[in-house]
């Protein structure tokens, strides 16, 4: 009964958010509550949720002050040079922009922290997506794929958990999986390029007066969009893009023809519903700019990132102190400090509310025993004849199981049981650990992962829309990583 209730609860939750019948916050609260009561939790469901919420408080604090810190850095103009550099390199071609998003997210993911990756990627790329009228869902999809694939690096978390749970060296798990990591990233880049081409075609179809048609447009080859009437330097117009004026039709590229000049125009479309992040990143004349403090803010950010990597003190405290220093130096007046906090309140509320609501789902899953029942059932249904395939089976199971439960629950609760069973068939613990991390591209899209909630909140994307675009692609990436692991012998069949 618990197994059925567990899978049914997750299925109902996914259907409700993907069909937009409920917002993710409401679905995270209402669905587990109903199923928890059916499971016999009774009044004890409150204690289950509160116990789970206690473990979420540090995560909520981390995300809250990380949003404040990086939002402040965006407001004062720290990332403006990065945005201009990307614009110069990518021009106005949606295919190149999406590919650049994937490369940027993968590179930043090397720090092993999903929240930082998504904040920096969104800060740099969202203004470009909005300026070119591209879909932010594509941004969240590509960033989620890249970060999920890179999440198997030893300092990312899952690999260390798997090694710890099975008492083996972390390098023994990760090094043989490097070919799988490379293959996974290659698939992500292919997906990114295809999504970029689809965006290019969508823009041509929906805005032919700006971008032209597939037969006539020359706007996506690094030149000026069709109908702009300008060609820029030497007639090439390289890097220029249409900048629609507020309340009016699109206009052509800047007289100079450079993307830097485009970014510095004041005739930029900023919808009132856009996030504060997108607004400030697009407006080069905002009052919050602090050009004289550019080097101080850069040094402070490097110091914060250094503390993040060194892991000397808890990360929430690092961002608390960093935010306090940044506010004090950049905005010495109390009134301005309060205005900055208020400016980022919508993003903070959106993220923290989902993190707290996720505690209801995890609390019910664990408190009612659903997680243990689902895990035991999956182990039991594996026939003995498939024993030699236990490593491959573990890799396949890691895709849905790490989506429906936390990494801790899977790696410390399920993996040791699977590994002990596999040992009877001569399958080493290292092989089982390697197979278990291949599901991470799919895991990172779970609503139980705070970082992905941060990503969709910053990009102002519906979680259901994100899942529609990313889930099947992340499953493909995970299966490719598993397949390459089998081909290289890192994951064997005995």
Quick check: 59 pLDDT over 80? no
- Report residue 87's pLDDT band, with 50, 70 and 90 as the boundaries: low
Average pLDDT over all residues of the chain:
78
Two tokens at 175?
A: 């090094």
Q: Is the backbone of residue 167 left (phi > 0), alpha (psi -120 to 50) or beta?
A: left
The gap from C-alpha 439 to its chain's centroid, in whole angstroms, comes to: 15
Alpha carbon distance 384, 15 (integer Å):
34
Alpha carbon distance 409, 428 (integer Å):
21
- Exposure of 337 by Cβ count < 10 A (0-12 exposed, 13-18 middle, 19+ buried)? middle
Query: What confidence tens digit (pLDDT) does each residue in 437-472 have?
Result: 999 999 999 888 888 888 988 888 888 899 999 999
- The pTM (predicted TM-score) of the whole model is 0.66
Query: What confidence tens digit (pLDDT) does each residue in 144-203 have?
Result: 999 999 988 876 678 878 887 787 887 788 889 999 999 999 999 999 999 999 999 998
Alpha carbon distance 86, 122 (integer Å):
13
Cα-flanking dihedrals φ and ψ of residue 199, to 5°?
Answer: -65, -40
What CA–CA distances, in Å, run from 64 to 57, 69, 147, 353? 10, 9, 20, 10
- Report residue 140's pLDDT band, with 50, 70 and 90 as the boundaries: very high
Highest mean pLDDT among 15-19, 36-40, 163-167 belongs to 36-40
pLDDT for 449 equals 85
Kindly give, in sequence order, each residue whose CB lies less than 8 Å from that of residue 321, ignoring residues fewer than 6 positions away: none
Kindly give, in sequence order, each residue whose CB lies less than 8 Å from that of residue 180, ignoring residues fewer than 6 positions away: 438, 480, 481, 482, 484, 485, 488, 490
Quick check: 263 pLDDT over 80? no
Percent of the chain with pLDDT over 70: 81
- Exposure of 265 by Cβ count < 10 A (0-12 exposed, 13-18 middle, 19+ buried)? middle
Lowest mean pLDDT segment, chosen from 73-77, 240-244, 284-288, 428-432: 240-244
Alpha carbon distance 156, 425 (integer Å):
30
Closest CA to 182 of 154, 142, 140, 153: 153
């Amino acid at each position: 009964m618990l197994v059925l209730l567990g899978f049914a609860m997750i299925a109902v939750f996914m259907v409700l958010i993907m069909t937009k019948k409920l917002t993710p916050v409401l679905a995270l609260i209402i669905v587990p509550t109903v199923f928890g009561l059916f499971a016999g939790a009774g009044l004890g469901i409150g204690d289950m949720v509160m116990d789970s919420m206690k473990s979420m408080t540090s995560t909520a604090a981390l995300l809250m002050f990380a949003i404040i810190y990086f939002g402040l850095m965006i407001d004062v103009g720290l990332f403006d040079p990065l945005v201009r550099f990307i614009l110069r390199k990518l021009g106005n071609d949606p295919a190149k922009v999406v590919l650049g998003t994937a490369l940027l997210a993968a590179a930043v993911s090397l720090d092993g922290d999903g929240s930082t990756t998504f904040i920096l990627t969104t800060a740099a790329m969202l203004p470009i997506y909005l300026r070119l009228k591209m879909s932010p869902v594509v941004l969240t999809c590509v960033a989620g794929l890249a970060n999920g694939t890179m999440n198997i690096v030893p300092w990312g978390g899952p690999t260390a958990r798997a090694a710890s749970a099975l008492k083996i060296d972390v390098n023994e798990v990760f090094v043989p999986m490097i070919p799988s990591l490379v293959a996974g990233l290659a698939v992500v880049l292919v997906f990114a390029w295809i999504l970029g081409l689809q965006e290019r075609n969508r823009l041509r179809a929906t805005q032919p007066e700006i971008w032209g048609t597939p037969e006539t447009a020359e706007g996506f080859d690094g030149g000026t969009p069709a109908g702009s009437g300008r060609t820029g330097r030497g007639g090439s117009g390289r890097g220029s893009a249409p900048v629609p004026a507020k309340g009016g039709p699109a206009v052509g590229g800047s007289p100079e023809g450079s993307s830097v000049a485009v970014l510095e125009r004041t005739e930029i479309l900023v919808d009132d519903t856009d996030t504060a992040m997108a607004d400030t990143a697009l407006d080069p004349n905002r009052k919050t700019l602090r050009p004289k403090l550019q080097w101080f803010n850069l040094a402070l950010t490097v110091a914060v990132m250094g503390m993040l990597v060194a892991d000397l003190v808890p990360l929430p405290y690092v961002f608390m102190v960093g935010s306090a220093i940044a506010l004090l130096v950049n905005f010495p007046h109390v009134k301005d400090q309060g205005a900055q906090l208020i400016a980022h309140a919508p993003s903070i509320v959106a993220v923290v509310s989902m993190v707290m609501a996720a505690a209801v789902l995890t609390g019910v899953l664990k408190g009612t025993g659903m997680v243990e029942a689902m895990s035991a059932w999956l182990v039991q249904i594996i026939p003995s004849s498939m024993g030699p395939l236990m490593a491959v089976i573990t890799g396949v199971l890691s895709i849905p199981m790490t989506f429906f439960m936390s990494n801790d629950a899977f790696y410390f609760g399920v993996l040791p049981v699977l590994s002990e069973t596999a040992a009877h068939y001569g399958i080493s613990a290292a092989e089982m650990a390697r197979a278990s991390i291949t599901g991470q591209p799919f895991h990172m899209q779970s609503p139980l992962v705070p970082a992905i909630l941060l990503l969709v909140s910053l990009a102002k994307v519906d979680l259901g829309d994100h899942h529609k675009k990313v889930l099947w692609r992340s499953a493909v990436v995970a299966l490719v990583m598993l397949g390459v692991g089998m081909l290289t012998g890192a994951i064997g069949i005995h």
